[in-house]
Amino acid sequence: AWTEFYEFNDSDLRAARQAIEEVTANLQQENQIPWEFIHGLMQMVFYGNRINKIHDNNVLMAYVKENFNLKVINGKVMELKNKIKIPVSSRLQDYINATENQFQHEDSPLLFGLPENVAISWEIKQSKSLLQKLRHAQLETNEGTEIDQNRWHTTVTSILGLWKRLNAQNTLHITAAIQPENTDDPIEQALILEYTHAVHIVSLK
């Protein structure tokens, strides 16, 4: 994994593609492709010139050698990490189908070489951020007793938005408001009231 963020962009991609096209334009056979020269261009000119750490340079070269070689050109090795297969095709729809069939809506940490518990770390970080915002949320009053509703709404809107994003995989926050039903079972009645209250809280706008 990279040790820091690098601003690679579309201009780098276009320049690298143009250089490869010029290098390989007059070649008659695939085995004539100067792979070491292409690897050197990627490392020293198009991408590596922004990298100043040896580890990150090694990461770059690992990606370059994995994706720029004769086996990839021949279509013999068309597989990404975790057995994600790349179709050997020139049709856009084949790639769209492969993407839809192999990738989940929620990215798995393993897909990026990260430990499985990284999601827990992210949730803890978001929770701490939310708690910090709650601690700073203060009710300002108007004339000493009345709550300034506009000020309160502005203060907590971002918090409520974050709460809904954290519950994106849950349908509770979009559940229609319900009226609690009466029952003779006190435990069931308590659960119904708690559920109704939970729906009301997470549905706040």
**Alpha-carbon span 76 to 139, nearest angstrom:** 64
> Beta-carbon neighbour count of residue 172 at 10 Å?
12
CB atoms within 10 A of CB 47: 21
Is the pLDDT score of 140 beyond 50? Answer: no
Domain spans of the chain, in order of start: 1-75, 78-114, 150-204
**pLDDT surpasses 70 at 36:** yes
Q: Are 192 and 183 contacting, i.e. CB atoms less than 8 angstroms apart? A: yes
C-alpha–C-alpha distance, residues 15 and 20, integer Å: 9
Token representation of residue 78: 């068309």
Average pLDDT of the segment spanning 138-157: 59
Is the pLDDT reported for residue 141 higher than 50? Answer: no
Token pair of 122 as six digits: 């992210």
Is pLDDT above 50 for 143? no
- Of the two residues 125 and 174, the one the predictor is more confident about is 125
Evaluate if residue 142 carries a pLDDT over 50. Answer: no
Whether 205 shows a pLDDT value over 60: the answer reads no
Contact 46, 19 (CB under 8 A): yes
The pTM (predicted TM-score) of the whole model is 0.45
pLDDT higher than threshold 80 for residue 163: no
Range in 109-118, 161-170, 179-188 with the lowest mean pLDDT: 161-170
Asked if pLDDT for residue 195 goes beyond 60, the answer is: yes
Report whether pLDDT(17) > 80. yes
Tell me the fold of 1-75: Helicase, Ruva Protein; domain 3 (1.10.8)
- Tokens for 116, please give them: 């499985």
- State yes or no: pLDDT of 21 exceeds 60: yes
Give the other-Cβ count within 10 Å of 42's Cβ: 21
CB of 19 closer than 8 Å to CB of 63: no
Given a cut of 60, is residue 77 above it in pLDDT?
A: no
CA distance 35 to 23: 10
Q: How far apart are CA 160 and CA 166, in angstroms?
A: 10
pLDDT at 42 over 60: yes
How does residue 61 score in pLDDT terms, banded at 50, 70 and 90? very high
Average pLDDT over the chain, rounded to an integer = 77
